[in-house]
A and B are shown apart, each in its own frame.
Chain A
Amino acid sequence: MDNLLVLAFSAFIIENIILSQFLGICPFLGVSTKRSNALGMGLAVIFVMLISSSVTWLLYKYVLEAFSIEYMRTIVFILVIASLVQMVETFLKKVSPPLYKALGIYLPLITTNCAVLGVALININEGYNFLEMLVYTTFIGLGFLFVMYIFSMMREKIEMAPVPKAFKGAPIALLVAAILAIIFSRFGGII
């Protein structure tokens, strides 16, 4: 149990997917201009990440390893993720139109979000069992949502601030991200 708590905390804050592992930077900069967008993207990523990590983990353990073709994992994983995203989109459209309305536009963007493939690969590389994988993926996703949300609030303020011309847009966003990263890296001393 302690193990899982440590895993959850480090996935959430210390090894934060955006600020210390640099995965999912594209949505981090692209979709964080408004709070509602950040929330939608974050939820969509958690949703897809959990499904795709579970499926790829099972596939790896029971198909790729069983036939000892582990080297196929990159190809298999990306195809699984791409088709899963498509399936989730169609499924949501049919079953829950309000949820589809909220998350729909973010789903196609997720296929090329390196965070989803990255987490699926990290789960395999670290050799997590199924429970650890679920905890790790959930908290990595929550960490993504958390940082996206904080960052989008900051960006709404920056929008109004008098920023030097050369720093407008991406440069000032990156500098703000740097300050956030310093804060998050200091949590490393806790464990």
Chain B
Amino acid sequence: MNKKDNLLKGIIKENPLFVSLLGMCPSLAVTTSLENALGMFLGVFFVLVLSNLIISLIMSNKKLSQLVKPVRIPVYIVVIATLVTIVEMLMHAFLIDLYLSLGVFIPLIVVNCIILGRAEAFASENKPVDSVIDGIGMALGYGMAIMLISIFREFLGKGTITIWGTLQLDLNVIFNFLKIEPISMFVQPAGAFLTFGLILAGITAIANNKKNKLAKEVTNNG
């Protein structure tokens, strides 16, 4: 597998959220605005890339990997938890608003299955450079997925799209034009399940369509 495929597989083919359904909890909880999703993406990006790097460095060293192998899961968890604590402190110091709105979901990055999953499935068996690329791809795929959900939810629920702080797109004109109010259900918990379910169904439909086309081509050629 070359480096480009390695990067791209996390974004589309093996998208952690839409294809593998990993890391569902934060993706439902923090997608009430694009800003929150962006913040979550930054946190996951930092932790995932660095944990992949550190774990592949540990496991590619022969002596160290023999030592670590019997207790590798606790070792991974300590590495990840340390990185998450760093993220938490940095956010508390520099991005206090984001820290307050993400709340308990920052420490919960520790139990995000994507990070432990990549550590076990990829970083422990591959070279550091490849692991970092894999981490970047997976984090981007996850980030894009939660941003997609949050754009739908924030637009339908509040009529705005907050990119960062005061940088905000106000799309209430559309609702005014249609003479309706924004549908506040979409920023409430129920809207999260609804949006995620509908997006997932859409993606499944597209994937099925593609598969059918491929099958048809095969039968035509054969």
**A interface residue numbers (CB < 8 A to B):** 19-26, 29, 71-75, 78-79, 82, 112-114, 117-118, 121-122, 125, 164-175, 177-179, 181-182, 185
Chain B nearest CB, measured from A76 CB (Å): 9
**SS of B interface (majority):** helix
Find out whether the CB atom of A174 lies under 8 angstroms from the CB atom of B107.
Answer: no
Q: List the count of A-B residue pairs having beta carbons below 8 Å apart.
A: 119
The B48-90 residues at the A interface (CB cut-off 8 A) are 73-74, 77-78, 81-82, 84-85, 88-89
**SS of A interface (majority):** helix
Interface size class of B (residues with CB under 8 A): 35 or more
Given B25, B104, B111, B190, which contacts A182 in the complex, CB threshold below 8 Å? B190
- When chains A and B are docked, how far (Å) is the Cα of A32 from the Cα of B88? 33
Does B215 sit at the interface, judged by CB under 8 A? no
Does B214 sit at the interface, judged by CB under 8 A? no
Does B208 sit at the interface, judged by CB under 8 A? yes
- When chains A and B are docked, how far (Å) is the Cα of A167 from the Cα of B202? 8
- When chains A and B are docked, how far (Å) is the Cα of A72 from the Cα of B196? 34
Does B132 sit at the interface, judged by CB under 8 A? no
In the complex, which residue of chain A has the Cβ closest to the Cβ of B85? A74
Find out whether the CB atom of A185 lies under 8 angstroms from the CB atom of B188.
Answer: yes
Does B96 sit at the interface, judged by CB under 8 A? no
10 interchain residue pairs of minimum CB distance: A174-B197, A178-B193, A166-B205, A22-B29, A181-B190, A171-B201, A178-B194, A75-B81, A25-B24, A175-B197
In the complex, which residue of chain B has the Cβ closest to the Cβ of A22? B29
- A73 contacts which chain B residues (CB < 8 A)? 107
Apart from A114-B112, A178-B197, what 14 extra A-B contacts exist at CB < 8 Å? A22-B25, A74-B110, A82-B73, A82-B77, A113-B111, A165-B205, A167-B197, A167-B201, A167-B204, A170-B200, A171-B200, A175-B194, A177-B193, A181-B189
